[in-house]
Structures are given as C-alpha cells and as structure tokens.
A and B are shown apart, each in its own frame.
Chain A
Amino acid sequence: MKYLVKNKISWLFYLLFWILILRVPSELPIYTHDSSSEALLEYFFENNYLGGRDFVQNVGPLGFLSYPDIFNKSIFWPKLLLLTFITSSIALVFLNFKRDFLDGYYAYLFLFFCVILTNWDSLLYLYFFVLGLYIFFSIYSNKEPDFKTLLLSLLSVFILALAKSFYFYLGLGYLVLTLLSNTSLRNKILLCTITTLLLFQGLKVLNFTIKDFFSLLNAQVYFTEMYVSNLNTFPLGLNSYIGLVLIVGITLQILRLINKTMGIRSVVIALYLLFVSLVCYQHSTIRADVHITALLDLCIGSSLIFLGYKRKNNAKI
C-alpha cells in the first residue's frame, strides 16, 4: 500500500512537472519577422518543401518543431503530439536524473529552473546536457540506467534531429554515449536497432533521401559562418566576451569530470558535453537577441546540477 501511494505520488509529480514544461501554442499570428518565419516553416511542410532539400535553413524536414508555437491548423495536432512526446521524455529524464543523482535544495532549484525557462532552445540544450550527465553519473555510480528512459530519450533526440541539423550531431553523440553506458549488450543492440529503423522510416515517410539529409548537414556547416556579432544585448558590445567567460566556466566544470577510474569513457562524455556547450555558444552569439539566454540558461542549469550532485563515497566531482 505504501509502495502504491509512493508510486502514485511520483506519477502525480511527473504529470505536474510535464504540464509545467509543456508548450501548448500560445503565440498569436502577428506581423513580425520571427512569427512569420515560424509560420513559413509550417507552410513549407504543408506544401512539401523540406528543409535541406527545397530550402536551406538551419532546420531539417521537421523544422517547424524548432518552435513551439503553432500557426497552421492542419499541422496543429501532429505538432502538438510531437511536442507532447518530446516534453514528456524531457520530464522523464529530468525527474529520473533528479531522483538518482541530485540531492538537497539545489535539486529542487534545478527542477524549478527548468520550469521557468521561457526559451524553448534553452530547455533543449539543457536536455542534451543532462542526457550526457545522466550517462556519466550512472557509469560513475556503477548504476544501470533505466532502459525505458534511454529508449524514450533516444527517440525524442532523433525526432529533434529531424528538426534542426545541430541537434542531429548532438543526437549522434548521445547515441555513442548510450553505447558506452552500463546497460547490457542486448539493450544496446535493441536501442540502436529501434532508433535507426525509426529514423530511416521517418525519413522515408517524409520523402527525404539520405542524399538530401547530407546536403542539409552540409548547409548547416556553412550556416555556422553566419554571424554578425551585433553586440547590443549587453552594454558596450560585450556579448562575445561574456560568452567567452561562460564557455570557459562551463568547460572547467566539464573537464573536472575526466577521471582515471572511468578512463576513456569519461573523456568521451566530457567531449560530448563540451560539444553541447559549443553548439549552444554558437547559437547564443549568432544573433544579439534572446539567443544569448540559451548559454546563460545552460550555465545556470549546469551549476545547479553540480551543486546538487549527491556526493557519496568521497566523490570528487
């Protein structure tokens, strides 16, 4: 009985957390550059223009998922369902991560911080970061990560990979990490097979060839060149400098994870986390508006995680 009550409470907590981070479209169609670009991505999808094939942007065939708002009624339910799936995976990963590896008031502060994140990109970058740390801490504490959590997170990551090409690279990195995790060989084979099959099936449904996909990745590489360094977010044009301080800070936090006991695995995970941070840095300094908040949010989130990490057995992290 006690178990059932506890279980119910945790499910209720999960439901509440998921509702709090869920993005149901709230923006109304207005005449602004951002909203019209977002509406255009839905228009393109509806009219079979696919990112990377028919138009070149930093988004993929499911580019409309890069924004939580919905403008077009024909896309309303599919988009809401995909967003629901992604946010429920995020909620599951964050809560399992908190349960297994975080402790004290910093753990609750971290969850509270995730709830009040207003920028959708910030939530996603933090998600990729937490996924890396989830694998790291599970290896470090000699725990087997929950298979359902791994599977759901991989699926959500590969849906995101079709939304933005940077997420594709991050998704590949995460797939490598799951192969390094403490889960059994059978589970690893299952994870790889299911996600690869679903990814290829998804591309087939979208009528998107592998060649198109590589052209998308190629375009993204060139897109990273697109910076203007218009530095008006911070006074005196300090965006890049502040960004530099933040990236150095988070790098120091990540480098601390490299340790002898975990050997090469800790290096790979640290490289993945650095990659997430660099992608987030690039995203944050590409424009001088709300973009910078992604890196600020990632740094606040990572600090709360490291402060809230359960320190057992003389752990030095």
Chain B
Amino acid sequence: MLKFNKIFLGLTISFAFIAGYGGLSSSLILTEARVLNTFNFFINHREYILDRQNRFKETQYDVRKILRNSIPANVRDLGYFGFSPYPIVYGNFNFKALPVFTSFAASTPYLSEINSRAYWKLPDYLLVNYVTIDDRYIYQDDPFQQVYIAQNFEFLKNTDYGTLLIRRKTPLNLEKLSVDEGEAKCKSICTIPLDENKSMLIKFRFGEARFSGLFIHPYWTMVVTYADLTEHAYKFSPTSARIGLLVNVLSSSTMYPAFLRAGDKKISAIQLECRPLISCPRDFSYRMERLIWK
C-alpha cells in the first residue's frame, strides 16, 4: 500500500504540472504574498483597511463616472442580463436581480424556470451584455429570458458596460408559428436543418448516453457556419440545450438589440459534434419552434 501511495502521489504531482498548476515555486510565491499580506494586516490594520476602502471607492468612482455619462441620472433600479454584473455593484445601483443572476448559470430547465417565475421583478431599465463564459454560444444562455427581454424591452443607448434597454410601453407580440420535430441518429456529428428567414428556438432531447455522464462528460462542440462560409466553434452545453437554443437566421432584425447584436452574421448551418463516442448519446431528437414577431 505504501508503494501505491507513493506512485499515486507522484502521478498526481505530475498531473498538477501538466495542468499548469505552476509548480512549487509559484505556490511559494503566492504563499509568501499571502503571508506578508496577513502580517501587514496585523501590524497596521487601520491603514490596511483604509487603503482597501480607498481603492474600493476609486473603483466605484471610475465605474460610476463612466455610467453617469450614459445612464440617466434618475435610474436607480437596474436589472442585468449578462455574464458579469460588476457595473451594478460598483456603480452603486439597486440591483434588481433575477434568482439566477448570471445568464450562463441558468443552465438547466429547472433554473431557467425559476427565473421565468420572477420576470415581473425586472425593473424598467435593464443593462444587457452579450458576453458569456467558456466560449459558449450566447444565445444558449437562458434563451427564454432573452425572448422575454426582446418582447418587453427596447434599445435606449449603448454604454461601456453593455446596452441599456428601457421597458416598452406595449410588449411586442410574439407568435410561435409552427413546431417541427425531428430526430437524428448520429455517431458524432449531427447537422441541424435551418429554415431560411425565421428565428428559431430549438430544444433538444438527448437519448441514452453510452456511458454515465457523471464521470466522463461528453464534450460537445457547436460549429456555426455563417452565410459568408466562415465557421466558429462554440462550447455546447447539453443540459442547457434541454431549455433551448435560440438560432437567429436573419441577417438583420427588428429585434435588435435585445435579440440580435448589430454585426451578427446570418447563420446558414449548425453542426453538433460530440466526443468521446463512449459517452455520447446514441441518438437525440429536437423540436424546433419558429418565433415570429407581429
């Protein structure tokens, strides 16, 4: 057993190096900095705290200064859709948050539903920032909230921290035109058929996985081909795909900016790739809803 422990220790340390852990030297440097910081605090804690408070105020001042130029002075309550809500915290606004307050985190049907029950809490002003983590596809982040935003908010102005939206006097009427259901049996690459000139919400139901997803998670990539034949590979989350995936095939849209950013290109094809095969589902079905604005 001693031998096993020694081998396992060596193996783990090698993995740590491969992972770019930084090794002993960087750990020591970080530890030294942490310990010096602790001593600094104990020796002169008043100055230490004052210094931190001043720096926090400086940061807050910078954000507020930038936001003051772009957000009307009467706005106190601000909602947020996006990846990093720091402007609200540092900008000293009243953050009216949905329960799952970062867009990428509402990544299961349950969490998306929790948010949908609280849409009424959103204030009249909303800051949206279409950036997400881990190179995911932004329209996979809480798509129902994005649809709600597009229906109920309109463009006010662009700021350094995203687009400021204001609540519409009358919400846009959104109609689900038709529902197509399809099924795909694919080994590793699946192509999703796209309909011209429609924005779509696609939901996926994944079949039985070959191997339990608990230990070896399947690695999904979504390759989007644009009309100009350029391609971009995004990380694809199968759990959030059960909520839906917004695909806007329009090259320009009346839904701008809450739905489609300026400069977004027309999408001509979507392919999903899954690997390793051992943990990919045998088949999956999809359901496409076409969303039409009235």
Contacts and interface: CB of A to CB of B under 8 A. Distances in A.
Interface of A: 19-20, 22-26, 28-33, 35-37, 39-40, 43-44, 49, 54-57, 70-73, 76, 115-118, 219, 222-223, 225-231, 233-235, 237, 240-247, 249, 252-253, 256, 285, 287-288, 292-293, 296, 299-300, 303-304, 306-307, 316-317
A299 B8 contact: yes
A228 B235 contact: yes
B35 A20 contact: yes
B108 A226 contact: yes
B65 interface: no
Most buried by B among A22, A33, A292: A33
Nearest to B136: A228
B257 interface: no
B11 A300 contact: no
B18 to A, nearest CB: 6
B31 interface: yes
B145 to A, nearest CB: 14
B178 interface: no
Nearest to B235: A230
B59 A29 contact: yes
A300 B9 contact: yes
Interface string B111-147: 1001000000000000000000111100000000000
Contacts of B21: 293, 296
B188 interface: no
Contacts of B252: none
Nearest to A296: B16
Contact of A36 (B85, B219, B220): B85
Interface stretch (B67-75, B92-100, B263-271, B283-291): B92-100
Nearest to B24: A116
B163 interface: no
B254 interface: no
Contact of B19 (A19, A237, A256, A296): A296
A28 B105 contact: no
B33 interface: yes
A254 to B, nearest CB: 12
B204 to A, nearest CB: 14
Nearest to B13: A300
Nearest to A36: B86
Nearest to B131: A33
Given A40-B89, A293-B21, 6 more contacts: A28-B55, A31-B86, A226-B239, A227-B239, A234-B15, A299-B12
Nearest 5 CB-CB pairs, A to B? Answer: A36-B86, A229-B217, A303-B9, A33-B84, A299-B12
By size class, the interface of chain B is: 35 or more
5 contacts: A28-B55, A225-B239, A233-B20, A300-B9, A306-B1
B217 A118 contact: no
B5 A24 contact: no
Which of B20, B24, B86: most chain A Cβ within 10 A? B86
Contacts of A243: 215
A227 B86 contact: no
A242 B15 contact: yes
Interface of B: 1-2, 4-6, 8-9, 11-13, 15-16, 18-21, 24, 27-28, 30-31, 33-35, 37-39, 41-42, 49, 52-53, 55-56, 59-60, 63, 83-86, 89-90, 95, 97, 99-102, 105, 107-108, 110-111, 114, 133-136, 215-220, 235, 237, 239
A183 B53 CA distance: 47
B90 A39 contact: yes
Given A33-B84, A230-B235, A293-B16, A285 B217 contact: yes
Contacts of B136: 228
Contacts of A235: 18
B11 A249 contact: yes
Contact of B86 (A22, A35, A300, A303): A35
A310 to B, nearest CB: 13
Contact of B102 (A37, A240, A307): A37
Contacts of A307: 2, 5-6, 9
Nearest to A42: B89
B219 A229 contact: yes
A41 to B, nearest CB: 10
Contact of B38 (A24, A242, A252, A299): A24
Nearest to B36: A26
Contacts of A116: 24, 27-28, 30-31
Contacts of A300: 9, 12-13, 16
A29 B9 contact: no
B177 to A, nearest CB: 31
A20 to B, nearest CB: 6
Given A229-B219, A241-B216, A40 B38 contact: no
B41 A24 contact: yes
Contact of B12 (A31, A54, A226, A249): A249
Contact of A118 (B27, B89, B216): B27
